Amino acid sequence: MKERFMMFLIFVSVFILLVDIYSFKGIKLLISGFDSNVIKYCIYIAYWIVPILVISSLLYIKSLQPFAREPQIFKYIFLTGGIFILFYVPKLIFIVFHLTEDIIHLGKWAISKISKTPEINIAEGVQGISRAKFLSQLGLVLAAIPFASILYGMTRGRFNFRIVHEKLRFTNLPVAFNGLKVVQISDMHIGSFHGHENKVKKAIELVNEQNPDLILFTGDLVNNFTEELNGWIPLLSNLKAKYGMYSILGNHDYGDYFEWENDAEKAKNLDDLKQAHKDIGFRLLLNENEKIKLNNSEIALIGVENWGLPPFPQYGNIKEAMNGSAEKPFKILMSHDPSHWDAEVIEKTDIDLTFSGHTHGMQFGIEIGNIKWSPVKYKYPRWAGLYKEKDQYLYVNRGFGYIGFPGRVGMPPEITVLELFKA
């Protein structure tokens, strides 16, 4: 792991230097007409502060390895990643335009040499420099759009919780469950919220305001280890549902992405996390099912451990989880990874409704009217919202928290409310 991180550090540092050296050439061109050298030097200094800050942060993070089980460390890692994305996505856009400009001028120069065109006079040269700035100026303007969007996503977007409401009808839903209100939350990644306790408190209040009959949490309570929950359990235990709260594990909950001292330490961490679910008030379903009973009618709530396409772990066992539920007229499944639905649920089981998360909508996308797009769709065809195949439904929650990039752009954190009705 140390070697991989060192290679990553070298790659990112080289990338930063190449991008900054070339884009700095474009910035110098754009401000070449400024009269004040003081302003120019201030811009130069401000420009180079960012790469120095990012590389210094990476070196500091490297000095912390092996990482302690301290949630605040990962907050700094994510912040460094966020700053990198904030500045270098716009810079890459700027470079595309500046490079295009350079290629055009190189082509003109080559043609002039081949055709032996006489050199232009001074007046024409000044006018040519002005025209030469056009594409770089356009690139700078267009680069400001993702910069503003990413900045908003980091400062406001990641806390702008959205309620998504759906109503579904089923012919086999027992009458006693008509109007059942299920609230789903997923992918909390609580360690990412260090220092933002008030934001989580407001989100918990928002969940309770929906007056849920059931609360279903579909995995990834933490990023890596149980210590992330230190101080959070009293707040999270304020979640309330009329008929109970149920949970499953996600891929991050197993501690597979952390460098443990030994297997016993990793196993102890998972046991502690399972206890934390109980302390919050969740009934954690580990390849098992629970009967939900109302007025002498029952439905089955099934929960599997994480099951994902490689390289994600496949701890889930849907046959084991469904054991004893065959006679129930209506079945709800909680499975963290939506790829599980296509692989082992539709047309292979009689599960009516599946709740998943995992994708976060990549924390980036566009959802305007009927337009719904995110790069994550190329990895997960079922990546956000409601899907139906014949009489079976899947709902993929866009996630409560965030990981890696400390923000959300066009993909706000979600609290899902599904109301179930008898058709």
Q: Mean of the pLDDT values across residues 397-407?
A: 97
**Whether residue 107 has pLDDT greater than 90:** no
- pLDDT tens per residue across span 259-281: 899 999 999 999 999 999 999 99
Going by pLDDT thresholds of 50, 70 and 90, the confidence category of residue 308 is very high
- pLDDT tens per residue across span 208-258: 999 999 999 999 999 999 999 999 999 999 999 999 999 999 999 999 998
How much of the chain exceeds pLDDT 70, in percent?
Answer: 95
At 189, which CATH number?
3.60.21.10
Q: How far is 419 from 406, CA to CA, in rounded Å?
A: 31
Instruction: Give yes or no: residues 18 and 92 share one domain.
Output: yes
Q: How far is 189 from 191, CA to CA, in rounded Å?
A: 6
Final residue before a domain boundary, out of 127, 155, 183: 155
Instruction: Give yes or no: residues 144 and 246 share one domain.
Output: no
SS3 at position 421: strand
pLDDT at 32: 86
| Tokens of residue 174, six digits | 């027992």
DSSP per residue over 107-141, as a string?
A: HHHHHHHHHTPPPP-HHHHHHHHHHHTHHHHHHHH
pLDDT at 1: 57
Are β-strands 366-368 and 371-373 bridged in parallel, bridged antiparallel, or unpaired?
antiparallel
Beta-carbon neighbour count of residue 9 at 10 Å? 15
How much of the chain exceeds pLDDT 90, in percent?
Answer: 81
Instruction: Give yes or no: residues 172 and 147 share one domain.
Output: no
Beta-carbon neighbour count of residue 279 at 10 Å? 13
Instruction: Give yes or no: residues 210 and 285 share one domain.
Output: yes
Q: Which domain, by its residues, includes 376? A: 162-422
| Tokens of residue 256, six digits | 């597979």
Final residue before a domain boundary, out of 136, 155, 174: 155
Instruction: Give yes or no: residues 51 and 115 share one domain.
Output: yes
Going by pLDDT thresholds of 50, 70 and 90, the confidence category of residue 110 is confident
| Tokens of residue 136, six digits | 């770089």
Instruction: Give yes or no: residues 222 and 330 share one domain.
Output: yes
Beta-carbon neighbour count of residue 199 at 10 Å? 15
Instruction: Give yes or no: residues 189 and 134 share one domain.
Output: no
Of 299, 290, 291, 296, the C-alpha closest to 329 is: 299
Render the burial of 159-188: b for 16+ CB within 10 Å, e for the rest. bebeebeeebebeebbebbeebbbbbbbbb
Sheet strands side by side (includes 245-247)? 162-170, 414-422, 180-185, 214-217, 245-247, 283-284
Residue 67 or 42, more confident = 42
- pLDDT tens per residue across span 117-170: 655 444 444 445 455 688 899 999 999 999 999 999 999 999 999 999 999 999
Cβ neighbours of residue 345 under 8 Å, at least 6 residues apart? 318, 333, 335, 351, 354, 392, 394
Which range among 87-96, 128-137, 384-393, 396-405 shows the weakest confidence by mean pLDDT?
128-137
pLDDT at 79: 92
**Rounded to 10 degrees, what is the CA torsion of 348, 353, 359, 363?**
160
pLDDT at 72: 81
In this prediction the pTM is 0.91
Final residue before a domain boundary, out of 116, 140, 155: 155
Instruction: Give yes or no: residues 122 and 184 share one domain.
Output: no
Cβ neighbours of residue 7 under 8 Å, at least 6 residues apart? none
Q: How far is 65 from 72, CA to CA, in rounded Å?
A: 14
Instruction: Give yes or no: residues 268 and 352 share one domain.
Output: yes
How does the average pLDDT of the chain come out, rounded?
Answer: 92
- pLDDT tens per residue across span 343-390: 999 999 999 999 999 999 999 999 998 899 999 999 999 999 999 999
Sign of CA dihedral 124, 122, 130, 15: positive
Q: How many domains does the chain have?
A: 2
Instruction: Give yes or no: residues 133 and 198 share one domain.
Output: no
- Residue 376 is given by DSSP the state G
